Each structure stands twice: as structure tokens, then as C-alpha cells.
């Protein structure tokens, strides 16, 4: 796993959990197994995380930070460019996406998709940090159904895409998304 992480200990814990996910069901993985795989003690695990669920939640946040960085690196400012960046991003993390899907853990992303995408939009400059919380809430209330509909569709397309063999290239997917949402 190549997620950028400043704290090596957190990275070791994440890598250990994902290595175990390749071999076992998520519900069967224990904190003891994670720390043994990472070469750490239980106290060290609990210094950083309360549970293995929190490890997955932290990983999804790191992934969205990487997505924001991808948008910035690509100077993505149109729907098609953002979609291309999005699928390029997931292509580079396809092993994680497939593993989360296989382990039935995509809900860690799905349940928080709105806030995760919002954070990515803030970091990439697609939403101004200068907008007041009240104005943002008014805008969200006005467009919440449209946004939720589009975002859920985008996510379901992502799941379908990652399961395909062979997968369409990010350029193809960006054109498909652009055509659907226009």
C-alpha cells in the first residue's frame, strides 16, 4: 500500500490490517493479529486507534487526501478532468478498492462519501474555504438531493468499473461520466 503517511507506526498498522485482509475475513481479524503482523504492541495500537474500524476509517480519509492531491496535480477543473483524475486515482489504488469490496467494507467510504468528497473539494480548491458555514449549508440544502443522487451514481459506477475485467481506462470512464452528468 502506497498511501502517504507521516506516521510510520500508523502506516505499519494499516499495512498489517490490509495484509491480513488478503488472507482472512475482516470480522475474524483481531487487534492482536494486527499488532503481531505489524511487529508492535497492543498499547501502541491503542495509542493511535480505538479499533480496527478506526484503522479503515483513517485509511479512507488518507485516500481522499490523495484524491485531492491528484486533482491538484492534474489541474482538474472540468467535470471530465475531475472524473479522469478520479478514475486515475482509483486505478492507482485498485488493490485497496478491490480488497475493501471483497471484504464488504466499502460502507466505510459510502457512509461518509459526502463529507469525504467535500474535504477533497476543499483541499483541491473546488470549494472555497472562505464560504461561511451557513451559506454552505443553505447551498447544500438547496441542492442536497441532486448532489446525493449524482454522488451515489458516481460511486456505484466506480464499484461496477472496479469489478470489470478488463477495466475501462480512466479516459474512457471520464467521457462516460461526462456524458451521463451533462
Higher per-residue confidence, 94 vs 141: 94
pLDDT at 5: 54
What's the CA angle centered on 81, arms 77 and 86, to 5 degrees?
110
Report the distance separating Cα 32 and Cα 60, nearest Å.
22
pLDDT at 3: 57
pLDDT at 21: 96
pLDDT at 114: 75
Q: Is residue 162 over pLDDT 90? A: yes
For 10-69, what is each residue's pLDDT tens digit? 999 999 999 999 999 999 999 999 999 999 999 999 999 999 999 999 999 898 888 888
pLDDT at 71: 83
- Residues 6 or more apart from 20 whose CB is under 8 A from it? 29, 33, 34, 37
Average of per-residue pLDDT across 163-176: 95
- Residues 6 or more apart from 21 whose CB is under 8 A from it? 29, 99, 103
CB 68 within 8 A of CB 120: yes
Higher per-residue confidence, 152 vs 25: 25
Higher per-residue confidence, 141 vs 181: 181
For 76-116, what is each residue's pLDDT tens digit? 788 888 889 999 999 999 999 999 999 999 998 888 777 77
Report the distance separating Cα 79 and Cα 174, nearest Å.
8
Report the predicted TM-score, pTM, of the whole model to 2 decimal places. 0.81
Q: Specify the DSSP element, H or E, that contains 18.
A: helix 8-21
pLDDT at 23: 95
For 120-139, what is each residue's pLDDT tens digit? 777 777 666 666 667 766 77
CB 84 within 8 A of CB 174: yes
CB atoms within 10 A of CB 114: 15
pLDDT at 4: 56
Amino acid at each position: 500500500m502506497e498511501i502517504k503517511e507521516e506516521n510510520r507506526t500508523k502506516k505499519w498498522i494499516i499495512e498489517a490490517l490490509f495484509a491480513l485482509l488478503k488472507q482472512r475475513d475482516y470480522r475474524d481479524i483481531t487487534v492482536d493479529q494486527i499488532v503481531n503482523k505489524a511487529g508492535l504492541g497492543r498499547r501502541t495500537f491503542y495509542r493511535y486507534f480505538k479499533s480496527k474500524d478506526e484503522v479503515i476509517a483513517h485509511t479512507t480519509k488518507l485516500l481522499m487526501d490523495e484524491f485531492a492531491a491528484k486533482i491538484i496535480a492534474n489541474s482538474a477543473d472540468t467535470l471530465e478532468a475531475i472524473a479522469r483524475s478520479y478514475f486515475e486515482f482509483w486505478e492507482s489504488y485498485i488493490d485497496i478498492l478491490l480488497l475493501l469490496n471483497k471484504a464488504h467494507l466499502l460502507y466505510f467510504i459510502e457512509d461518509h462519501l459526502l463529507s469525504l468528497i467535500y474535504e477533497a473539494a476543499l483541499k483541491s480548491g473546488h470549494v472555497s474555504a472562505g464560504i461561511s458555514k451557513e451559506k454552505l449549508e443553505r447551498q447544500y440544502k438547496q441542492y442536497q438531493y441532486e448532489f446525493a443522487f449524482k454522488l451515489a451514481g458516481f460511486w456505484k459506477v466506480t464499484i461496477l468499473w472496479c469489478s470489470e475485467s478488463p477495466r475501462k481506462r480512466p479516459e474512457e470512464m471520464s467521457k462516460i461520466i461526462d456524458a451521463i452528468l451533462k
